[in-house]
């Protein structure tokens, strides 16, 4: 499933100045609310749910990348966004490195395949270190969104 | 092909959310505690059980039939049993 299929381009944020895990998550959930993906009244509850999930086990998968996520009743289909941060924040990641590239996934209840497909798409994409560096280098929201929609380049280096 | 000295198990995924990040991390952590080489297959895809990210790429939804194969060390049997139990675990709803 291409990232473009579930990414909310309008909610992508480059170089967020967030300085903590909590504020990064809140900024990303706010971006999704501003893109109209759920009612603003749901914002606090979604942030809480994402952070509760982090308490169960970090989504910091290493190399500065995290995939915070939650299931929530406010969405009827999976919505996702991506953000890069100006400087890394602690996520208790598996390699203890600060996180500066985040993919936030919010899934409806009882739709496991969609959530797993999205996770797989993100995991495959961030396996390309060159692609991740391009994400980090993007200076504008639109540039970051375009990179994500286009996806990692698949041609091999000569 | 089951090579000599390899142990094979099959389990069904019972976690209602499938093999998502949390159970994948738990399965990989368990697998890493064994010397045996442990692989998990779903249909025609086979991954290293010691990699939580690789397990995620299986997209193992509830009801998926997984094949576990462990070999290469004398803890292969225990490895296969422990990993299989975790893969079949219905989880705690989170």
- How high is the pLDDT of residue B42? 98
Which residues, in sequence order, are CB contacts of B79 under 8 Å at separation 6+? B7, B31, B34, B36, B38, B70, B73
Q: Does A67 contact B21 at a Cβ distance shorter than 8 Å?
A: yes
Residue A155 has pLDDT above 80, yes or no: no
User: For residue range A94-140, what is the model confidence (pLDDT) as tens digits?
Assistant: 999 999 999 999 999 989 999 999 999 999 999 999 999 999 999 99
Calculate mean pLDDT across residues A19-23: 98
Nearest CA in chain A to B55: A120
Q: Does B60 contact A116 at a Cβ distance shorter than 8 Å?
A: yes
Rounded to whole angstroms, how far apart are CA atoms A116 and B58?
9
Question: Residue-wise pLDDT tens for chain B (94 aa)?
Answer: 555 589 999 999 999 999 999 999 999 999 999 999 999 999 999 999 999 999 999 999 999 999 999 999 999 999 999 999 999 999 886 6
Average pLDDT of the residues of chain A: 95
Residue A154 has pLDDT above 90, yes or no: no
Q: Does B53 contact A110 at a Cβ distance shorter than 8 Å?
A: no
Residue with tokens 């576990």: B68
- How high is the pLDDT of residue B40? 98
- How high is the pLDDT of residue A158? 46
Which of A96, A114, A80, A97 is closest to A10 using CA atoms? A80
**H or E, element range at A5:** none
Which of A59, A55, A7 is closest to A35 using CA atoms? A7
Write the ipTM.
0.90
Number of CB pairs, chain A paired with chain B, less than 8 A apart: 44
Q: What is the pTM of this model?
A: 0.93
Which residues, in sequence order, are CB contacts of B43 under 8 Å at separation 6+? none
- Residues B87/B78, Cβ–Cβ less than 8 Å: no
User: For residue range A55-79, what is the model confidence (pLDDT) as tens digits?
Assistant: 999 999 999 999 999 999 999 999 9
**Between B18, B25, B94, which is nearest A116 by CB?**
B18
A1 and chain B: CB distance < 8 Å anywhere?
no
Rounded to whole angstroms, how far apart are CA atoms A26 and A24?
5
- Residues A151/A2, Cβ–Cβ less than 8 Å: yes
Rounded to whole angstroms, how far apart are CA atoms B9 and A134?
42
Which of B45, B94, B46 is closest to A59 using CA atoms? B94
Query: DSSP readout, A59-108?
Result: -EEETTEE--EEE-TT-SS-EEEEEEEEEEE----TT-PPEEEEEEEEE-
Q: Does A113 contact B16 at a Cβ distance shorter than 8 Å?
A: no
């Amino acid at each position: 499933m291409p990232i473009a299929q579930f990414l909310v381009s309008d909610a992508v944020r480059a170089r967020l100045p967030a300085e903590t895990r909590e504020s990064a998550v809140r900024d990303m959930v706010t971006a999704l609310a501003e893109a109209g993906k759920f009612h603003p009244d749901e914002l606090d509850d979604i942030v809480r749910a994402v952070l509760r999930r982090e308490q169960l086990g970090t989504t910091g998968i290493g190399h500065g990348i995290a995939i915070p996520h939650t299931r929530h009743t406010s969405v009827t289909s999976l919505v996702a966004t991506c953000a890069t941060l100006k400087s890394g924040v602690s996520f208790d990641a598996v390699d203890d490195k600060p996180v500066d590239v985040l993919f936030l996934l919010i899934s409806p209840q009882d739709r496991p395949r969609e959530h797993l497909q999205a996770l797989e798409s993100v995991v495959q994409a961030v396996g390309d270190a060159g692609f991740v560096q391009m994400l980090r280098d993007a200076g504008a929201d639109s540039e970051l969104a375009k990179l994500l929609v286009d996806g990692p380049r698949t041609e091999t280096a000569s | 092909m089951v090579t000599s000295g390899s142990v094979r198990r099959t389990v069904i995924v019972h976690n209602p959310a499938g093999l998502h990040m949390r159970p994948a991390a738990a399965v990989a952590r368990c697998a890493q505690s064994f010397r045996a080489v442990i692989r998990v297959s779903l249909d025609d895809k086979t991954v290293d059980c010691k990699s939580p990210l690789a397990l995620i790429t299986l997209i193992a939804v509830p009801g998926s039939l997984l094949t576990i194969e462990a070999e290469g060390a004398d803890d292969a049997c225990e490895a296969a049993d422990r990993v299989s139990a975790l893969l079949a675990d219905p989880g705690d709803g989170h």
